[in-house]
Structure 1
Amino acid sequence: MIAFTSFPAQFTQSSYDQTRHHPDTEDDLMELDVFEDFATQGPKLTCPGESLTSAQAYMRGHGTYVDNEEVVASVAGTIERVNKLVTVRAIRSRYNPEVGDLVVGRITEVQPRRWKVDANSRQDAVLMLSSVNLPGGVQRRKLESDELQMRGFFEEGDLLVAEVQAFFSDGAMSLHTRSLKYGKLRNGQLVAVPPILVRRLKSHFLTLPCGVDLILGLNGYIWVSKHVKENEQEGEEGFDAEAVYSNVNDDIDDSTRSAISRVTHIIRVLTSHFVPLTDSLLLEAYEWTVEHESSTKDLLHQDFGDALVASITAGQ
């Protein structure tokens, strides 16, 4: 015997809209809306243990784990989503290098034909003797006499700017300083910030109107120093090795020292508010402090720092 079941006599579009979704999928749809809002509003901060989305709708990535069919953050950081993959980029983490990155580092050890460099990564970087500029400015084989004079080029504690050249089999990065824009750093101050706050720019060598040079290392080390005019830097051939590898700072006048201190404090204020550092943002922040005729000490006050950050981020 065959039984026939009739549909309800009245069926409107509104009733269809109310019943077309299964109750179990409502939460997933809400999560989709949340991530759509997140994509339009920009990165969102999260903390460990915070539930992000459904594990059935999304795949877990780095910085997350699955608990009770939910993707949960395991570190404090910014939520990032690529299609169905959800990851959390940690705020406090070691630098993850890539070939071609500009980094600022400190010499930690002198070894045969190489230097070990602290570049804020998971392990020390390596600067080979064959990867630096030697007196004469010509590319030549490194001799035994060059190896005996290694401490005359770099020694423990020296700061330098270099470029990531390659990686060794154990994952350590290999650096090089084969250009005069790289090499030993002098006449300035080092500022350490979370690497996540240093954005990739067209050039990481900046010059501010106050006579201060900035080197934004992608590893989170920033060098703030006295401005050096381009005509003071000699050509590649026959460069002055004593000047390039000198450990003696130049004379710095009081106004330049004050400007270096001001820029250093601006960077610290911006990083304390988790503001990403770019060339335009740093220039705008410096101009704002000059416009308000503030002193370096004013940047140490919480209220003044909050006003600075609120002003330069208002238009973003």
Structure 2
Amino acid sequence: MPQKIQMRLASNRVDTSVVINRDIPAIYTPGQIISNQNEFLRGHGTYEENGQLKASVAGVREKVDILISVRPLKSRYHGKVGDVVVGRIIEVQQKRWKVNTNSILDSVLLISSVNLPGGELRRRSAEDEHMMRKYLQEGDLISAEVQSVYSDGSLSLHTRSLKYGKLGQGVLVKVFPSLIKISKTHFHNLSIGVSLILGTNGFIWICPIINNTEENVGGFVQNLEEVVPKSIRATMARIRNCILALAQSKVMLFDSSITYAYEESTKYTLAELLLPEVMADVALSTQQKLILSETE
């Protein structure tokens, strides 16, 4: 005899216990009805069926006039001019570096878009091209800004400001780009002795406090010889676990949410922060703190 198989819709399997803030937009699942097709125009991430507009991807609804689209929660990074990103050098080419920025295509960092050691503003020579691997080589992590977007969607980066450049000792955490909250600054020095670079491409860099007064020669200096105290390393590891806990519960990541999560995590050990129930508790407590801070 054929066996009966019962299946639940994706909307019935979504755990909404953490998302308690009414200001957070609802998350639509594939096949969920958004509206009647007669009322709105169909955008990306939607389709029409039986006169109704439905979501074709899991994400957040975005409405512009009468155009409705669904922005997926899980997607590659789509860069815009001015975005702060963290990337990894994957190839050294003629007059350029190829950079992995979690986008569909590899990004490009031209040798003319970096500050050479000493901050010299001059034309790049053949000698500079021969020394490119000395400046940045495969595997190096950098922070940069999106300078332009090519017609095929690939990004052109630059590190003209001395706050950008090669990254030294630290921890890299990868989350979905949609969880990074866009703000005026993505460089944060937390009071607990840790600096954060919240890349809009979903790459988050955690490192010891960055001293902006130090002379950063062309953005290529690394602190690999410096000994990071054990207490700072433990704080960096705790921040990393807090970010993963917030990301798992789809809580937006910015300086305040990460700080609140760190404060809530102090009642647990570093190893306990990897347990699913502990991660959910930290995320829920952080969400409640965010709501209280907004109402005050």
Aligned residue runs from structure 1 range 1-316, under 5 A: 41-231=23-213, 233-234=214-215, 240=217, 244-246=220-222, 248=224, 250-290=226-266, 292=267, 294-314=268-288, 315-316=290-291
Call closer, same or farther: CA 1:127–1:249 in 2, change over 3 Å.
Answer: farther
Call closer, same or farther: CA 1:256–1:41 in 2, change over 3 Å.
Answer: closer
Separation (CA, whole Å) in 2 of partners of 1:56 and 1:67: 12
Identity %: 43
Separation (CA, whole Å) in 2 of partners of 1:123 and 1:107: 13
User: What CA deviation, in whole Å up to 9, does each residue of 1:81-121 have, x standing for no partner?
Assistant: 23322211101111111111000001111100000101111
Q: Is the 8 A contact 1:187 1:249 kept in 2?
A: no
Separation (CA, whole Å) in 2 of partners of 1:183 and 1:229: 14
Q: Is the 8 A contact 2:169 2:223 kept in 1?
A: no
The aligned counterpart of 1:24 is none
Give 2:182's aligned amino acid: R
Call closer, same or farther: CA 1:116–1:163 in 2, change over 3 Å.
Answer: same
- In structure 1, list runs of 5 or more residues that go unmatched: 1-39
Give 1:148's aligned amino acid: H
User: What CA deviation, in whole Å up to 9, does each residue of 1:167-195 have, x standing for no partner?
Assistant: 23433211001121100011101100000
Separation (CA, whole Å) in 1 of partners of 2:109 and 2:212: 26
Measured after TM superposition, the shift of residue 249 of structure 1 is 5.2
Choose between structure 1 and 2: higher helix proportion: 1
TM-score when normalising by structure 1: 0.81
TM-score when normalising by structure 2: 0.86
Give 2:256's aligned amino acid: S
Measured after TM superposition, the shift of residue 248 of structure 1 is 3.1
Give 1:259's aligned amino acid: T
Rg (Cα) greater in structure: 1
Measured after TM superposition, the shift of residue 41 of structure 1 is 4.5
Across the two proteins, how many residue pairs are aligned to each other?
Answer: 269
- In structure 2, list runs of 5 or more residues that go unmatched: 1-21, 292-296
Separation (CA, whole Å) in 2 of partners of 1:219 and 1:275: 16
Measured after TM superposition, the shift of residue 247 of structure 1 is 7.9
Measured after TM superposition, the shift of residue 240 of structure 1 is 3.8
Separation (CA, whole Å) in 1 of partners of 2:153 and 2:265: 43
CA RMSD of aligned residues (A): 1.7
Hey, which bits of structure 1, 4+ residues long, moved more than 6 A?
none
Q: Is the 8 A contact 1:94 1:120 kept in 2?
A: yes
Separation (CA, whole Å) in 2 of partners of 1:52 and 1:240: 53
Measured after TM superposition, the shift of residue 226 of structure 1 is 1.2
